[in-house]
Amino acid sequence: MKVDDVYVDRDLALLRKHLSFLDHELAKVNTSIKRSADPESDGWCEAGEYFIGHGFVAIQRYLTVTHTTLKIAKSAALAVPPAAMENLTFAAAINAGANYWKHVEGWIEDLNNPKKGDLTKNAQKTIDDLEKITDWADYTCSNLLAYLGDSTELTLSKLLPIIIEWRNNLISQAI
């Protein structure tokens, strides 16, 4: 709903609150990383990855709620600008990051199982999209956030202006 020139977006308000909570936890992790002699062995890097991965899932849910409310197909919504890079939109990159976070352990299990072997078409597309930005190895979500946001400060809330731009572009397409 639009009032004057401002959208009333309850889902965005909830997402903003959720990302703020995750950023609070990420700030603690970042402080611990700076203080640690070996943050990887101490588990701080994995802790950061955990909160960032959950942030991507929350953003993915917002993208889904928004495009389904506007009755726009997922594939069309993920193609809406802004671009993260040539041939990959911000929405598609976030979607890939969220899917990676949710499914990577199963993909690794499938790849290590001689009876399964290859990844599904959707899993391979997710990895292909991610690999345009970062390897899908250690700290994929952190690397993706650094690329999409501010690499000097890994916070999920810094993505909100891009999310709002995507939403506004999507609404413009729906009208």
pTM of the model: 0.92
Confidence at residue 4, expressed as pLDDT on a 0 to 100 scale: 52
Confidence at residue 31, expressed as pLDDT on a 0 to 100 scale: 94
- Residue 7 forms beta bridges with which residues? 2
User: Taking Cα atoms as reference points, which of 78, 112, 108 lies closest to residue 92?
Assistant: 78
The residue extents of the domains of the chain are 2-174
> Phi/psi zone of residue 70: left (φ > 0), alpha (ψ -120 to 50 degrees), beta?
alpha
User: Taking Cα atoms as reference points, which of 59, 88, 71 lies closest to residue 164?
Assistant: 59
Confidence at residue 115, expressed as pLDDT on a 0 to 100 scale: 67
Confidence at residue 62, expressed as pLDDT on a 0 to 100 scale: 98
Confidence at residue 46, expressed as pLDDT on a 0 to 100 scale: 94
Half-sphere exposure for 124 (CA within 13 Å, toward CB) = 6
Give the separation between CA 54 and CA 34, rounded to whole angstroms: 22
User: Taking Cα atoms as reference points, which of 67, 70, 105 lies closest to residue 89?
Assistant: 67
The answer to whether the CB of 59 falls within 8 A of the CB of 94 is yes
Block residue for tokens 């250690």? 138
Confidence at residue 1, expressed as pLDDT on a 0 to 100 scale: 53
Confidence at residue 3, expressed as pLDDT on a 0 to 100 scale: 47
Residue 155 phi, psi dihedral angles, 5° rounding: -130, 140
Confidence at residue 120, expressed as pLDDT on a 0 to 100 scale: 82
pLDDT by 10-residue block (mean), the chain, 175 residues: 64 97 97 94 94 98 96 97 96 96 86 74 90 86 94 91 96 86
